[in-house]
Structure 1
C-alpha cells in the first residue's frame, strides 16, 4: 500500500517537461448511491471526461477533447466501441470471482484498477504501472521487468499463477505500458499543448472551524499543480505550528491545497505579523493574504463553510462518490481482465 501511495504522490510532483496519462476503473457491489461501474482518466492531472453505468454516456469534459476525437474518429471508436461497453459486466464477473476467493457471500465490495504511463519530455524517460486493489487494499501489480504479476495478498496467488502463464498477454501488457500508452501520451501532449501550458490563479480564503481551531489558508482553482502555499511571520517562512496539506485535484481539472496555522498561542496584536503566500510556478506575482480576523470565514457565525474535498487517488472506499470522471479504456485494458478472470 505504501509503495502505491508513494508512486501516486510522486506522480503529482511534476516538472514542466513531465507528463502522465492515467486510467482509473472502479467496479462495485452493493454500494449505495454509487454506480456499479465507473471509469476515469487524466492527462497530466487534467480531467478529460467521465462515464458511469448510471448515465451510460461518455461525457468529454474539455472542448479540445471533443475536437480531437472529431478529427480522429478511428481512435474514438477504439476508445468507446463494443469493447468498452462490455467492461461493466466484466468487472461484475471479476468481483464475483474475487468474492469466491475471499469466501465472501455478499456485502459491499469494490474492485479498482489504475494503469498509467509517464514521459519526461526533456530526458525521454518513460515509465508505467498497472495495479489492482480490492476492498480498499492493494491486490495485484504488474512487474514490467519480469513480465509477471505480483500477488499483494495471499488470495491473489491463484490469479497471479493463471495470468503469469499467459505470456503473450503479458508481453502485450508490457508493450502497452512502455510503447502504446507513451505514444498516445506524446500525441496528446502535442495536441493539448495550450491546455497543458495554461496558468490559472486560485481564489484564496482564510477558514476556521471554531474559535480555537487553526486558521486554514485555502487556495482552490489553480493550474498547474506546481505550486506552493506557506505561512510567513514578519516576511520569513515559518514551519512551527504550521501543517501543510496535499495538492488535490478539483473536478474541473484545477487543483486545491491548504496550509493550517495554529493561532492558539498568537496574541491578537501579533496577528498582523502573519501572512499566507501562494506561489504558482511560472507566474511572477504571488498571492499574499494577511492574517486578519475580519477576513476569516467561519462556520460558527452567519457564514457557513462548505468545501468539497476531491478524490484522492488511493484505495479509500469513502472516496467512491468522488471518482465520477474518465477517459475510456483501450482494448488491451479490456483484454487484461476479460480473458483471464478466475
Structure 2
C-alpha cells in the first residue's frame, strides 16, 4: 500500500522487518531524479503518528479547521504548557529527520500549523533534502529551530540579542533552552536529541527527583560555606526564602516529625535554601507516602529553576546522579507518544 507523508513523500509499506523508500519529489514531481531516503517500518509509523503533512492548497484555517502558528499564539490564548508541547512536537519530528541525515530545509513560523488538539504540524517540505555529514545544514536548522522555539515559548516575541558570545547574563529557562541551539559556534550547538532532554520539558515529578538528588549532595547536606552563600544569594526575593513558614501552614505535624528525626544540636532544618533541599531529600526518603502531597514545585514555583541554574554554575549537573535524571526522556515520550522504541531512530 502506498501512503504519503511530508510534502507528498511516497512511502511503501512492507512487513515489520522491512523498510520503506522515502522519496523526495522535486517541484515537477519527477521522482526518478530525486534522492531516496529509506526508513524502517517503526520510523514510518512514528512519522505517521506525528502527522507530518504536505503543503496546504488553501488556507489551513478553512481547509482543516487548523490555525497558523502565529494566529494560535496571538489569539488562541495558549497556556505555558501548551506552548511547551508545541516546541516538543517540532523538536521531536525534526530529530527524526536529523537522525536520518535529512533536513526540513525551511524551518520558520509560517511552516508550522496547530491542529484542533493543540499539536504542532510541519508543512512545506519542498526544500527537504538528504545531507552529508559535516556540511553544516543540520546545524543551521538547529539554530533556526532555536529561534523558532523562543518565538513560541515567549508568546510571540522577537528573538533577543545575546551578550555577544551566544549567552545571556540574565537567563531564564526559555533562554537556556534557546542557548542550547543557537550558540554562535555551530560545533557547540546541541543536537535536537539532546535538546529534548532539557528541563523545560520535565514533569513536576521529575523536577522533584532532581531537587531530591541535589539535596543529597554533601555540600548541601552539610551546609558548606560557599554553597550556602551562593545559593542564598540566588534565592533573594524568591518564593521559598521562608520555606518553613510556608510548609508549616499545611504540614505542621510532618515538619515537626522531620525536625525531630533530623535535629542537630537541638536545631531544626535551617530556614534557608540548603535546609529546604535537604528537607526535600529526607522527607521523600523517610516519609515517602506523605511527601508528594506537599507539591514542592507548585508551592515554590521558582525553586526548581533557581536550583537548576545554581547547579549549572557549580558544574553539578554533570554529576552521575543528575545525569541519570537528565537522560530519562525517551522512556517517557516513547511510551506516551508512539509504539516504537528509541533505538529505531536510525537509518537501517
TM-score range, shorter chain: under 0.3
Report the TM-score, using the length of structure 2 for normalisation: 0.22
Structure having the larger proportion of residues in helix: 2
Greater RCO, 1 or 2 (C-alpha within 8 Å, sep 6+)? 1
Q: Which has the larger strand fraction?
A: 1
Q: Who wins on radius of gyration, i.e. which is larger? A: 2
